[in-house]
Amino acid sequence: MIAAIGLAIGVTLGLVLQPDVPLWLQPYLPIAIVAALDALFGAVRATLEGVFNERVFVVSFVANTVVAALIVFLGDQLGVGSQLTTAVVVVLGIRIFSNAAAIRRDLFHA
């Protein structure tokens, strides 16, 4: 419940304040968000399956975003930043999809 409220408040804040993304963060923010979304979907799935653990969620959330940003950063340093970004997005996208499928199965049994 608090998570949903937090998400809503965050979106509202972002829409109202409309802050500029600092330059150093620009390449990493979208990837970090996708990673965080993956963590969020994983958390929803775990909740539905009764194995949700706040500590695991916090750690996976932070680790996901940091690792995703790190991979992109490393890719930028190696000159394959755009390819690695694509790779990370693909992997995270697949995970989000599979999590969403599991949520769907849990909720609707279909």
Partner 1 sequence: MSQNTPARRRLRRALRPHISRTQLLVGLLCLVLGFGLATQVHANREESEFAAARQDELVGILDTLSQRSDRLRAEIQSLEQTRAELEQDTRGEAAVAEARRRASTYAVLAGTVPVTGPGIELVVNDPGGKVTASMLLDTLQELRDAGAEAVQIGGVRAIASTYFRDASGRGIVVDGQRLFPPYRLLVIGDPHTLSTALDIPGGIMESLRSAGAEGVVTQREEIRITAVRAAASPQYARATRDGDRKNN
- The residues that touch partner 1, with contacts defined as CB under 8 A, are 1-15, 18-21, 26-27, 29-30, 32-33, 36-37, 40, 43, 47-50, 52, 54-55, 57-58, 61-62, 76, 81-82, 85, 106-109
State the nearest-atom distance from the C-beta of 80 to partner 1, in Å: 10
81 or 91: CB nearest partner 1: 81
State the nearest-atom distance from the C-beta of 53 to partner 1, in Å: 9
CA gap 25, 58 in Å, rounded: 21
State the nearest-atom distance from the C-beta of 49 to partner 1, in Å: 7
For 38, residues 6+ apart whose C-beta sits below 8 A from its C-beta are 64, 92, 95, 96, 99
29 or 100: CB nearest partner 1: 29
Residue 82 has, within 13 A of its CA and on its CB side, a CA count of 0
11 or 70: CB nearest partner 1: 11
46, amino acid identity: A
Rounded (5°) CA angle 80-25-38: 75
How far, rounded to the nearest angstrom, does the alpha carbon of residue 95 sit from its chain's CA centroid? Answer: 10
State the nearest-atom distance from the C-beta of 87 to partner 1, in Å: 13
